[in-house]
Structure 1
């Protein structure tokens, strides 16, 4: 299934700066960041805690306002949230009183889609994430990985140009996380959506990304953009994968 192949989803970040006031002191989180995100690519953002990863994602989502600079999507400035973007958080935040199918169709129905059409679309995305048999289940009956699959299906059902993910697998156990990374990679390829993801997991970044954006640990440090030129599907045990992990570890001073 490829319902989003004709969409664009190009992002331009220009001289973006963002700070916060903490106990009367200004904390600069992002400083004059400029970046082009290509249509259909997967960009993964890594960096130490406090480096601005989630802040950048929230600015892209329209949930935070930058102090200076701008974000353009397909050449149009971003002002607040928009239907061309969907966000997936670490917790799927499903509505407990709705079934799985109801959770996925909810966003479409809120936008005015007839219920029958919304449910038909929801079933397509439920199938995409491999949960056809759980359409009538409730969130309390799902495992963590299954709930996050529903969250992904719900985000994709509204057919965004850009999928923004904030550590979506951070709360999952190691084996479930690997499975979900493989599933997300497959879904991203099939849907041809632009994907921007925040993670603390360097191996996850290498497995998923076309490029990795490394935010500096030190204020005023240099932002780095690293191409991940590995064939897909990716083999975590391959020597090229291991070498790429060593490159990223060196960026963090860990190797």
Structure 2
């Protein structure tokens, strides 16, 4: 069955065309994505939700160039993705910081690796460290940071390279509830300031509604068709507002929850 969520158009920043991906386990081939077609607009925030094993993270890894599809292709600004690229940055659930580098060293690392002079890289890094509220901790080592602070470092590191496309794989999943809401506020603010295209994988339906312009609901059953749901709510969003609560109920209904 063809998975058509939203047919890609010429103006899309990301165009997914006929994308299929499977894995082999115990001698059996397990399809994860099957003929997926999707267009993601420049500057859009898209959340991808669905049950475990439905292909959310696989799709994100293909977009990042970390996995190759079996069939189909991904186009970024009309150019095929053939591997990782400087126009994309990915944030994982674990910050994956280099333990021997300070906050400043971790955030400037990507720019220095690309040949940016150290002074300029550190100036850019300090700017983004301030944006995520960690200026007093730029000389701290990762082991001296809380989980929320470490994730802020990971976000600053990704933003410092000024990606056109920001990919997030459950970036707040390991945080406590209060820290998670604070970080959701930060991500919403940073996304609007940076004007990047943001693609977020999450299990948290409220997080998807809070951050996304559209939500891609991956099907529970193999061969099912993904659904795209517009989140037509004003920003900044209020989690207790009646329309927000109604949208949460609608997403829960997609999964048979009440």
TM-score normalised over the length of structure 1: 0.96
Q: Deviations over 1:50-106 (max 9, x none)?
A: 000000000000000000000000000000100000000000000010000000001
Q: Tell me the SS of whatever aligns to 2:32.
A: strand
Alignment check: 8 A CA contact 2:12 2:39 kept: no
1:196-215 equivalences under 5 Å are 196-215=199-218
Which among 146, 151, 156 is matched to residue 154 of structure 2? 151
Q: Distance in 1 between matches of 2:172 and 2:179?
A: 8
TM-score normalised over the length of structure 2: 0.95
| 2:90 matches 1:110 | no
| 2:228 matches 1:225 | yes
| 2:37 matches 1:34 | yes
RMSD: 0.9
Tell me how many residue pairs correspond in the alignment.
Answer: 248
Which among 157, 162, 169 is matched to residue 172 of structure 2? 169
| 2:214 matches 1:187 | no
Q: Tell me the SS of whatever aligns to 1:18.
A: strand
Which among 126, 132, 136 is matched to residue 133 of structure 1? 136
Which among 67, 88, 92 is matched to residue 64 of structure 1? 67
Q: Distance in 1 between matches of 2:256 and 2:249?
A: 10
Q: Distance in 1 between matches of 2:70 and 2:99?
A: 37
Alignment check: 8 A CA contact 1:48 1:217 kept: yes
Give 1:9 deviation, angstroms: 7.9
Alignment check: 8 A CA contact 2:86 2:163 kept: yes
Which among 96, 101, 105 is matched to residue 104 of structure 2? 101
Give 1:119 deviation, angstroms: 0.4
Q: Distance in 1 between matches of 2:158 and 2:137?
A: 17
Give 1:193 deviation, angstroms: 0.4
Q: Structure 1: give runs of 5+ residues left out of the alignment.
A: 1-7
Equivalent residue number for residue 249 of structure 1: 252
Q: Distance in 2 between matches of 1:212 and 1:147?
A: 27
Q: Structure 2: give runs of 5+ residues left out of the alignment.
A: 1-10
